[in-house]
Structure 1
C-alpha cells in the first residue's frame, strides 16, 4: 500500500521553512503542489525542484468543494502506482480541506496518509499583531462564517479571506455583531519578509486594496454590552444570581406555584399588544414571557431538577419531531395530511388526549383572567377546588 505524504509549506517564505521539510521537498520524485501561488514556489523552482500543481483545477471548477474533490481524485489515482508527496500551504492539519478528505478516504482508496508537518500560519499571525494570547482564541473560516460563530470574549482569527469580495462578505456578517467603528487588523504573508499588517475600522474593511491568498483577519477580544444582552448564558447567570442566597429577596423565595399567575398575566399582555398592533410592546411583552421561563428555569436549577438549556433542548427536539415533513422524509400535500402527521408525531411521543382537561383549564383561565388576575391563590389550587366541588355534586 502506497502513501500520500502531506507536507506543510508553512505560511511564508523559504526562510521560515524547517530544513528537514526543505530537504524532503527538494529530493521528492513525485511532488504535487495544491497551488503554486505561495512564497516558497519561486525558490523551489530556482533549486530545480519539479512538481505538478493543481492551479488549473481551481480554474476549471466553479466551487471550492468541486476543486478539492478533483484534487483528491487525482492524488488517489497517482498514489496507486507510487508514493506521493503532496505540499499544501501552512500546516496540513490547519484548515486544509484536502487533508481531511484524503484522510477520510484513505482506507477505501487503498493508500496511507502521512502528515509531515509545516509551520501553521497561526503563530505567525499572532506574532504579527503583537497581542498576547493567554486565554485562548477562536479560529474561523470566512467561507462558512455565521453570526452564531462569533464571540467577543476571545481574540478571533478569520482565515480564507483572499480578496475584496471575501472581505466584503465577512464584513457584512461582522457588522451584525461588532460596532462599525471597532478596529480590526488584516495580516498578509505573516512571518515572511513581505509581511504587512493593516489596521482599519470594521466598516472600512473592504475599502483597502489588498489581494492575497496569504491573508488573515484578526479581531481583538473586547467588552461588548450589546452582545452580552443577547446572550442566553448571560441571561442564565442573571436569573441564577437573582434566586441565589445573595440574590433578590423576592426572587429567591419564588416557587413554580407562586409564579403561576404571572405567566398568565404576561400572556394576556402579549395578546393585548398584538391586538394593538404595537411591535415595540410585542417585543417587550414577549420578553416578559421569556422572563417567566428564565425565572422558572432558575428555580428548577436551584432545586437541582433542570435549567434553561434543558427547556431549550426539549423545545427544539419537540419542534423537529413534530415537523417530519420539514426535517425528515414525511410528505404533506394538504392540511389534512398535515393534521395526520402532527397527530402521529404526538402519538409517537406517547402523548394522551387531554381535551377535557384542556377545556376545563381554559374555562377557568378565562374566568380567572377576567375577574381575579391579581388573586394571590395559585391557579392550580383554584382548578383543584372546582374539581372537588364537581365531585361533591
Structure 2
C-alpha cells in the first residue's frame, strides 16, 4: 500500500441531548477524522473516538492528535507495507494509545478494501445482512430512564442498556424490569463497584439481565473472575480488554461470559479480530460497543458486526439519536431494531465535506 498523504480533522459537535453517566456528562463531542489517500487519490476513513477528558480511558483528543502527528504517522511512513495488518503489528512498538492507533489503522483497512473494490465486511469475513442494534439509556431518575426507554422501544430497539452506579442501581433495574417484563436489558456500571459490593450486585441476578458490563476496575481481570463465580448474571468486560493477551488472561481466569468489542478501545481491526477469534474459540459471547461516535466509526462498527457471532444487539443506533446532521454522505439508520450492512466498497460511506468543514476546528495534512 503506497500512501501519499494523511489528513487529520479535529471536529466538535453538540449532542442533541447530553449523555449522562456517573463519570461524566457529555454535551459536546470532539473527535478526530482520519483520511488516508493513496497515489491514485483513493481515500480511506478512520475516526479517533477518545473523549475530550480522560474519563473513559486515559486517552483524550489532544493526546491522540499528538500520537498520530508525532509518532504513528511517522512510524507508518518509515517503511513500505502490503497490508493493514502489518501496521497493526508495527504499532505494537508503541505502548498504549489504542484509540490513536485505531483511528489510523481503521482508515487503512477502509482504503485497502476500497482498493480491492469490496465491502470491508466481506474482507474481514462478515456474513450477516441484518445488524442487530441496541441503545443506551443514560443515568437519571427511574421515571426519566423509563421515558427514554419507551421512546427507544417505540423506535424498534430490542435491547436497552442501563447506566448504573451504587445507589442508582437496584431500584432502577427493578423498576425497569417491572415496566418492561420481556425486554432484553443489560446494565453498564463503568467500573463503579468493588468486591465489597458483591451482595448488592448479586441482587441484580433476580432481574434476568442479559449481562452486567464492567462492574469493577477498568484494568482488572482477577477480581472480575472472583465476582463472576458469585453471580449467575454474565459479566461483560469492556475497558479491561485492550489486547489479545488481556483476552487470553480473562479466559484462563474465567473473568467473563461476554466481551464488548470496540475497535477504538482495542487499537483497531488487527487486535479486534484476534480478540473476536479467541472469544469464538472459547464460547465467550461478543457484541459491538459504541462510543457516541460520528458516522465514520459507526460505519466501521457495522462492518465489524457482520461477523458471525455478533448476535447480541450492539450499540449501533441511528445517526439521528445523537446528531442533527452527521458528517457522512448519508445517515446510519436503524429500523425496527436492525441496521442494514453497507455494500459499497470499504465502509460504504463517504464524508459530507460541507458538514465536516462546518464542525472542524483543526485540520492538518501530512504528505509522504
Using the size of structure 1 for normalisation, the TM-score is: 0.22
Using the size of structure 2 for normalisation, the TM-score is: 0.23
Larger relative contact order (C-alpha < 8 A, sep ≥ 6)?
Answer: 2
Structure with more of its chain in helix, by fraction:
1
**Structure of larger gyration radius:** 1
